[in-house]
Amino acid sequence: MQLIIRNANVLNENGQLELKTIYVQNGVIDKVEDGAGADMSVEADIKVIDANGKLVTPGLIDMHVHLREPGFEHKETIETGSRSAAKGGFTTIACMPNTRPITDSAEMVKLVQEKAKEAGLVNVLPYAAITKGELGRELTDFAALKEAGAIGFTDDGVGVQNAQMMKDAMRKATSMGMPVIAHCEDDSLVEGAPVAEGEFARKHGFKGIPNESEAIHVGRDILLAEATGVHYHVCHVSTEQSIRLIRQAKEIGINVTTEICPHHLILSEEDIPGPDANWKMNPPLRSKRDVDACIAALEDGTIDIIVTDHAPHSEEEKAKGMLQAPFGIVGFETAFPLLYTKFVATGRWSLEMLVKRMTADPARVFGLSAGKLAPGAPADLTVIDLEQERSVDPKTFASKGRNTPFTGWKLKGWPTDTIVGGKLVWSETL
Ligand SMILES: NC(=O)N[C@@H](CC(=O)O)C(=O)O
Ligand SMILES: [Zn+2]
Ligand SMILES: [Zn+2]
């Protein structure tokens, strides 16, 4: 089966848009020709998509997501999460192990893969836990988890509190060429605080989460990464202090990488309108100073990639208020339009930079074959209408989660078609 995408505006090596015609054969990009492509009469076994001059990028990659299945199917399933990802233009996603049971056995890794295959929408890469049950007490069987298909080890949702445990994990991961991905949070510095230290916490009488609670783990782990030689990847970085430590570590050649979420680039604690748990996430929204440090770090490459940390929760759970509600917001369906509108349409970033941080860079950091639009690459492609403007309406989400702080935001740059392995898995016209 052949697929042709004509009239595709594709970024060239110089970051300029050029009209191309993309030919796909058996799920792989066969050739990319200059020009819009002839309006060829449709042959029986050829499907033609006319991109009509819209942007076509390598499929977006999201290396930090929560799909909730098994155990929390009322929040999301692998199928609904995959559909939400596809609608957001993502073709490859890496899912966190904080399900119930936790993805801490080969059997659970296989279950995630099977469910993802059944859904048949996007590529789902499972992470496995560092410690059994993410309890921080005993390492999982790294060899068996790798063998089953896990792409890295992480206890996302909680920090690994014990330094020796983390060092042992890194040593083991290094010996098998696997990365350790860390949720950086020192529990003793957080103790039930729902939001960051700052104006909002003071005004509403909440205990605040201090910046050190994140940075102290980042600093500890960088030293452990230096000692063990592991590829150490910091989850959802959010503070000026963590960034300073990561920048220094990179400068002296320690193998550390990191990621950032759109909300930590766009919102600060000053933007929280009131005690509404759709503004509660971990890490919390920090100060404007932190936001500025994050933006600068993404721009200079200290922060390698953009992830959503898509973390759906039910409306009932989020209605419990700032103290009782769980941390987390959904991310797939607003990520690209948010960043495009805030940073590219305003002229601060090139379109090339935004696309790179969501495609080629995650592929490089995690050694994936995805992330490029070239002959021989998998035909994972995203069509994006940079002119389309509309408001965020959580009721229209494909995700079960409605928990977003961006309701009503008027954004440009919406994905319209998502192709995975040469198959159209989502289209706004379907
Ligand atoms: N980010 C969040 O606020 N929540 C995540 C956990 C996590 O990413 O640490 C979740 O699983 O809900
Ligand atoms: Zn986390
Ligand atoms: Zn997470």
pLDDT in tens, 45-84: 889 999 999 999 999 999 999 999 999 999 999 999 999 9
In terms of Cβ atoms closer than 10 Å to its own Cβ (0-12, 13-18, 19+), residue 133 is: middle
Query: Does residue 310 have a known ligand-binding role?
Result: no
Determine what percent of the chain is predicted with pLDDT higher than 90: 97
Q: Pinpoint the alpha helices (H) of 95-238.
A: 106-119, 142-148, 163-175, 199-204, 212-228
Domain range enclosing 421: 2-56+378-398+406-427
Which CATH number belongs to the domain containing residue 167 in this structure?
3.20.20.140
Same domain, 206 and 238: yes
Same domain, 290 and 312: yes
Question: Phi, psi (5° rounding) for residue 386?
Answer: -70, -20
Over 70: is that where the pLDDT of 22 sits? Answer: yes
Same domain, 112 and 127: yes
Query: Does residue 142 have a known ligand-binding role?
Result: no
Same domain, 382 and 308: no
Which CATH number belongs to the domain containing residue 411 in this structure?
2.30.40.10
Residue 38 pLDDT grade (very low, low, confident, very high; cuts 50, 70, 90): confident
Is residue 373 in a domain? no
Lookup: tokens for 165: 């445990």
Task: List, as one string, the DSSP characters of 285-336.
Answer: P--HHHHHHHHHHHHTTSS-EE---B----HHHHTTHHHHSPS----TTTHH
Report the interhelical angle of 78-87 vs 106-119 (nearest 10°). 50
The closest-lying atom of ligand 1 relative to the alpha carbon of residue 329 is 3
State which H helix or E strand residue 7 sits in: strand 2-11
- Pocket residue to mutate for ligand 1, from 62, 66, 263, 332, most atoms within 8 A of Cβ: 66
Question: What distance in angstroms lies between residue 172's CA and the mean position of ligand 1's atoms?
Answer: 25
Counting the structural domains of the chain, the total is 2
Mean pLDDT confidence for 247-260: 98
Query: Does residue 183 have a known ligand-binding role?
Result: yes
Over 80: is that where the pLDDT of 191 sits? Answer: yes
Residue type, 159: G
Mean pLDDT confidence for 290-295: 99
Question: What distance in angstroms lies between residue 34's CA and the mean position of ligand 3's atoms?
Answer: 41
Same domain, 50 and 187: no
Same domain, 246 and 319: yes
Query: Does residue 309 have a known ligand-binding role?
Result: yes
Residue 183 CB less than 6 A away from ligand 1: yes
Which sign, positive or negative, has the C-alpha torsion 89, 370, 103, 255?
A: negative
Over 60: is that where the pLDDT of 41 sits? Answer: no
Q: How many Cβ atoms sit within 10 Å of the Cβ of residue 46?
A: 14
Residue 282 CB less than 6 A away from ligand 1: yes
pLDDT in tens, 374-423: 999 999 999 999 999 999 999 999 999 999 999 999 999 999 999 999 99
Residue 185 CB less than 6 A away from ligand 1: no
Same domain, 121 and 238: yes
Q: Whose CA is nearest to atom 9 of ligand 1?
A: 157
Alpha carbons 173 and 262: distance in angstroms, whole number:
29
Same domain, 264 and 177: yes
Is residue 89 in a domain? yes
**Which residue in 62, 155, 304, 309 is the catalytic one?**
309
Residue 205 carries which DSSP code? T
Is residue 356 in a domain? yes
Is residue 372 in a domain? no
Is residue 245 in a domain? yes
Q: How far is CA 400 from CA 83, 329, 374, 394, in A?
A: 10, 12, 34, 10
309 part of the active site: yes
DSSP, collapsed to helix, strand or coil, labels residue 133 as helix
Determine what percent of the chain is predicted with pLDDT higher than 70: 98
Same domain, 14 and 72: no
Closest listed ligand to the CA of 309: 3
State which H helix or E strand residue 264 sits in: helix 262-266
Same domain, 336 and 347: yes
Alpha carbons 181 and 160: distance in angstroms, whole number:
11
C-beta of residue 63 within 8 angstroms of C-beta of residue 33: no
Residue 309 CB less than 6 A away from ligand 1: yes
Same domain, 207 and 316: yes
Closest listed ligand to the CA of 327: 1
Question: What distance in angstroms lies between residue 311's CA and the mean position of ligand 3's atoms?
Answer: 7
Is residue 217 in a domain? yes
Question: Which value does ipTM take for this structure?
Answer: 0.99
Alpha carbons 62 and 106: distance in angstroms, whole number:
23
